[in-house]
Amino acid sequence: MDTKLTIETLKKTHDRFAENNTKESWVKTLDEYINTIKEFILDHQTDLKKIFIDVENQNNLYEEKRVEVKMLPEIISIYKEYNDGMMQFANELAMKIDAASENEEFLSKLEIALKKDGPFIDSLFIGDIVKTESQPVSVAVENLVVASEYTKLIPSLKDKVTGINISETSNNVDTIEKVQMMARSSVEYFAYLLLNAILCNYTQIHDGIYNVDKKDGDTVPFKLF
């Protein structure tokens, strides 16, 4: 797998979904992301195993080799808590959708949530909510463990969205669709950026360990995309 080419392909997949946010395109997009991480693990399983074995057997050496990273387990933890709140709000709104059609407060909160979701997710990966820090490779490898967790994490987030409860008496189709679009967009964008971060972290950590041009104590700088 060519990481750079894969990231370019993922960008096209994400852009297609952004232009056509339907349940069908959302499911297809998430499936593509999950298949990509499975392919990555399969293609790199020998290298991944070697990295973990080398770090475990030579831990002192890899305390000296450093890479700049945002720790992905921390990002996942923050997003899951945020997503729990979003799903609670979405379910409450969906069950009271008829009342919400005449309730400016509900609709105002929905519009605010729609506008703030993307920037919040951006801030996790690119901003300062989770700091970019120089870490020993022996710590940074925790980001690679996330690759195997991805195949369970994203389906679990998907299930929460498809499980949004909608009032059986509701006839406010436009507002219902906005609620569902908000939830779908959030999970898709998070899944997209997390997958990019995993691929980029692999390259950085691999270079941090095996790049003979890097001296011990040099830091491989953080980069995303």
Q: Tens digit of pLDDT for each residue in 147-186?
A: 999 999 999 999 999 888 766 555 566 777 788 889 999 9
Q: How many of the other CB atoms lie within 10 Å of CB of 106?
A: 18
Q: Which two tokens stand for residue 135?
A: 């870490």
Give the model's confidence band at 112: pLDDT under 50 very low, under 70 low, under 90 confident, else very high: confident
Share the mean pLDDT of the chain.
83
Q: How many of the other CB atoms lie within 10 Å of CB of 162?
A: 12
pLDDT score of 175: 73
Q: Is residue 138 predicted with pLDDT exceeding 90?
A: no
Q: What is the pTM of this model?
A: 0.86
pLDDT score of 140: 85
DSSP 8-class letter at 199: H
Q: How many of the other CB atoms lie within 10 Å of CB of 83?
A: 20
Q: Tens digit of pLDDT for each residue in 81-99?
A: 999 999 998 888 777 665 5
Number of H helices, E strands in the chain: 9, 3
Find out whether 148 and 41 touch, Cβ atoms under 8 Å.
Answer: yes
